[in-house]
Amino acid sequence: VQLQASGGGAVQAGGSLRLACAASGRTSSNYAMGWFRQAPGKERECVAAIMWSGGSMYYADSVKGRFTISRDNAKNTVWLQMNSLKPEDTAVYSCAAGSTIIATIDRPNYWGQGTQVTVSS
């Protein structure tokens, strides 16, 4: 599975961004997908994940109520809608895929390249 993330950029606090992760590969739609972020000097964290059917989702406490993960298997794309952005959301965001949500959060099988999100106060 190959993953390509896009949609990062610079916004002011309170603004919104929508990240997209395009997946390719014959069975890409069978994988759970997740979005991770890593800020300078901090550990990488999973902020959201979604199972292959879209029926179950995970959100980190820090983004609950502000971020929404969704997927369209027909388009092989997963999105991360980020609203009410805060300066502490500034990080490199990457998408990843795994066999289950838990596996994706813990140890994804596949990674895409990162996209920078910068939120200014």
CA separation for the pair 104, 100 (Å, rounded): 6
Q: Computed over its alpha carbons, how large is the radius of gyration of the chain?
A: 13
Look at residues 50, 51, 47 and name the one whose alpha carbon lies nearest to residue 66.
47
What does the pLDDT read at residue 28?
Answer: 66
79-119 pLDDT, tens digit per residue, is: 999 999 999 999 999 999 999 999 999 999 999 999 999 99
* Nearby residues of 101 by Cβ (< 8 Å), 6 or more positions away: 32, 34, 49, 50, 51, 56, 57, 58
What does the pLDDT read at residue 98?
Answer: 94
18-67 pLDDT, tens digit per residue, is: 999 999 886 767 899 999 999 999 999 999 999 988 889 999 999 999 99
Q: Six-digit token pair at 12? A: 């002011």
CA separation for the pair 18, 70 (Å, rounded): 11
